[in-house]
A and B are shown apart, each in its own frame.
Chain A
Amino acid sequence: MPFGQLLIEGLAMGACYGLFGLAVVIIYKTSEVVNFAAGDMAMFSTFVSFHVLTVYGAPFWVSFLAALAFAALLGVFIEFFFLRPAKNPSLLGLIVITIGTQLLLAGVASWKWGAEQQAFSIPFSYQVTYEIMPGFVISQWAIAVFIIAALIMAFLYFFFKHTKLGTAMRATQQNKHAAKIMGIKTNRVFAFAWAFSSVIGVTAAVLLSARTILDPQFMMEPFLRAFAAAVLGGLMSIPGVLIGGGIMGLIENFFGYAWPTWKPITAFVVIVLVLCIRPAGLFGKHYVKKV
């Protein structure tokens, strides 16, 4: 049994799920809205990258940067035009708005680029592999995933812990009313959170697209897994999501190897079990307000 390869593959997939889960968590952390449009926002931005790559024949890096810029704009756009106008919204209302947004994006994407599968290749090949030690084979793609995940993780840690805007984002989540009193423009904080989440989402989606095919539905399943990883990690904690993602990836890969027919559901079964024991997720803690 190729233990080493399964391990590395599982971790790489897990890092992708975790990265994508971060996109969900960042929005949840600032506004407590679960963004069900995250998958299709990332899908849409990946298609923009694909469009720039094939139609304009630009190099991959240019198309990737274009996708990042587009993703940021898309995030701000959705926050500004779809969520902000909602007057006295309930949390559930906002979540339904994100589901509507998801359907809208899926529809527009299949109208523009067609529902068929597209060939989209990124410079990190899944085929090029290196054997780092006997039994442990790592692909170029996995290396890229690990490096990018680590960089984003480090950046986020620094951002939320040591910058004024990051602290303001945490403050807004904890007490929006008090944040307003401090002079924090909470609307801008939300818009920024959406842009930020969208950018991280498209990074994960481009990495994932190398493993699957590119069509308007390709982010559906990764989104569900990433969301599950985020819930497993507690929906609030950034390291929690990455660990949740890692657990997802590993379980899926090992059980999938042993019982291939059960691969798609094993991870979810484990998550249901974990949440039965710890409903707040592995790293979740909800602060109880003092009266």
Chain B
Amino acid sequence: MLKVNNIETWYDLIRALHGISFEINQGDVVALLGSNGAGKTTVLKTIMRLFYDAKTEQPEKGTIEFLGTPIQRRDTSAIVKMGIGYVPEGREVFPELNVLENLLMGAYTRNDKDGIQADLENVFRHFPILRERTKQQAGLMSGGEQQMLAIGRALMSRPKLLMLDEPSLGLSPLLTHEIFQIIKNINEQDGVTIFLVEQNVNMALKYAHFAYLLENGRIVRADTPAVLREDEDIKEFYLGIAREQSVKGYKRYRRKVRFR
């Protein structure tokens, strides 16, 4: 469905992505994992072409294909119309619009009134709390409700692929669980392919069908969660399960990274 081929993204003179390739298949939940500064958000912004104020067009190299058509350097609104929904990091709701207006802004590129109404009902089905809050200013809601609103807003464009940037950011473990459950429902009931970018590796591995691990702008692992869970490095550095100490009695901090 989405095929990213060897993209390089630069922030002026700094190369943030060093040639990244991955693929997302229809109907899957695919996770992109990595720590702070690995380049996760940059990947999403490159796909959505949100580097509109960069000095040069991004990505500098490589291609992005969605449903067989190249979309790199297309206009963001065209990409949204083709069926990619994006929930940005930190929610980014419109604080002074009410919930309903926020949701309708999600459907900005669409003109079919009945379809929008049906999708609105669908969003309310996933997030019943939003139905109660339609007239409330989005900026006055709690973080969890704002996250739900941001996901609902992205669903309003009726995306085929929904990209979520750290939906667990700043949420309690309980709420994170709830959000992930809803994401799973969206995937299973609405047939929306999910591209999940997360730091919360443990959580993401529970729900993903396939996962990529990003480190310093390179993809270093690509496998199913079952395999990744057993990976020694991932256990130690991302899941916090300590490795056994070496025979001499101290911990090794250096490790080999295999670049693909």
Given contacts A180-B76, A183-B77, A290-B139, contact A174 B95 (CB under 8 A): yes
B residues 35-92 touching A (CB-CB < 8 Å): 48, 50, 52-53, 55, 75-77, 79-81, 86, 88, 90, 92
B27 at the interface (CB under 8 A from A): no
Q: Is the CB of B50 within 8 A of A167?
A: no
Bound complex: CA A180 to CA B79 (Å): 11
Nearest chain B CB to A284's CB is how many angstroms away? 12
Residues in chain B near residue A291, CB distance under 8 A: 90, 170
Contact among B75, B88, B108, B153 for A164, CB-based, below 8 A: B108
Partner-contacting stretch, out of B97-105, B121-129, B177-185: B97-105
Tell me, rounded to whole Å, the shortest Cβ–Cβ distance linking B133 to chain A.
16
Instruction: Verify if A112 is at the interface (C-beta below 8 Å from B).
Output: no
Give the chain B neighbours of A171 by CB distance below 8 A: 94, 97, 101, 105
Report B-chain residues with C-beta under 8 Å of the C-beta of A178: 88, 92-94
Whether the pair B95, A289 counts as a contact (CB closer than 8 A) is yes
Q: Which of A265-291 contact B (CB under 8 A)?
A: 287, 289-291
Q: A179–B90 Cα gap in the complex (Å)?
A: 14
- When the two chains form the complex, which single residue of B77, B86, B92, B139 contacts A287, counting CB atoms closer than 8 Å? B139
From 181 to 198 in chain B, residues with beta carbon under 8 angstroms from any chain A beta carbon are: none
A51 located at the interface, meaning its Cβ lies under 8 Å from any Cβ of chain B in the complex? no
Is B76 touching A183 in the complex (CB atoms < 8 A)? yes
CB contact between A167 and one of B81, B97, B143 (< 8 Å): that residue = B97
Contacts of A184 on B, CB cut-off 8 Å? 77, 105, 108
Instruction: Count A-B contacts at CB 8 Å.
Output: 75
CB atoms of B50 and A180 under 8 A apart: yes
Is A181 a contact of B48 with CB atoms below 8 Å?
yes
Q: Indicate which residue in B52, B97, B109, B143 contacts A170 across the interface (CB closer than 8 Å).
A: B97
What's the Cα separation between A179 and B170 when bound, in Å? 23
A182 to B79, CA, bound (A): 10
Report Cα–Cα, A290/B69, bound state, in Å: 38
User: Is B167 close to A, CB under 8 A?
Assistant: no
Chain A 148-181 interface 0/1 with B at a Cβ cutoff of 8 Å (1 = within): 0000000000000000100110110011011111
Tell yes or no: B106 within 8 A of A by CB: yes
Distance in angstroms between the alpha carbons of A76 and B118 in the assembled complex: 37
Q: Is B157 an interface residue (CB 8 A)?
A: yes
Scan residues 39-89 of chain A and give those whose CB is less than 8 A from a CB of chain B: 87-88
Is B232 an interface residue, CB under 8 A from the partner?
Answer: no
Please report the C-alpha to C-alpha distance between residue A183 and residue B106 in the assembled complex, in whole angstroms.
8
Q: A183-B81, A184-B105 are in contact. List 8 more A-B contacts (CB 8 A).
A: A170-B94, A170-B96, A174-B94, A177-B88, A178-B88, A178-B93, A180-B50, A290-B139
Complex A-B, nearest 3 residue pairs according to Cβ-Cβ distance, in ascending order: A183-B80, A183-B77, A183-B109
Some 27 contacts from A to B, beta carbons below 8 A apart, are A167-B97, A167-B104, A168-B105, A170-B94, A171-B94, A171-B105, A174-B94, A174-B95, A174-B96, A175-B93, A175-B94, A175-B95, A177-B50, A177-B88, A178-B94, A181-B48, A181-B76, A181-B92, A182-B80, A182-B105, A182-B106, A182-B108, A183-B108, A185-B77, A290-B143, A290-B146, A291-B90
B interface list, Cβ under 8 A from A? 48, 50, 52-53, 55, 75-77, 79-81, 86, 88, 90, 92-97, 101, 104-106, 108-109, 139, 143, 146, 153, 157, 170
Using a CB–CB cutoff of 8 Å, the interface residues on chain A facing chain B are 87-88, 164, 167-168, 170-171, 174-175, 177-185, 287, 289-291
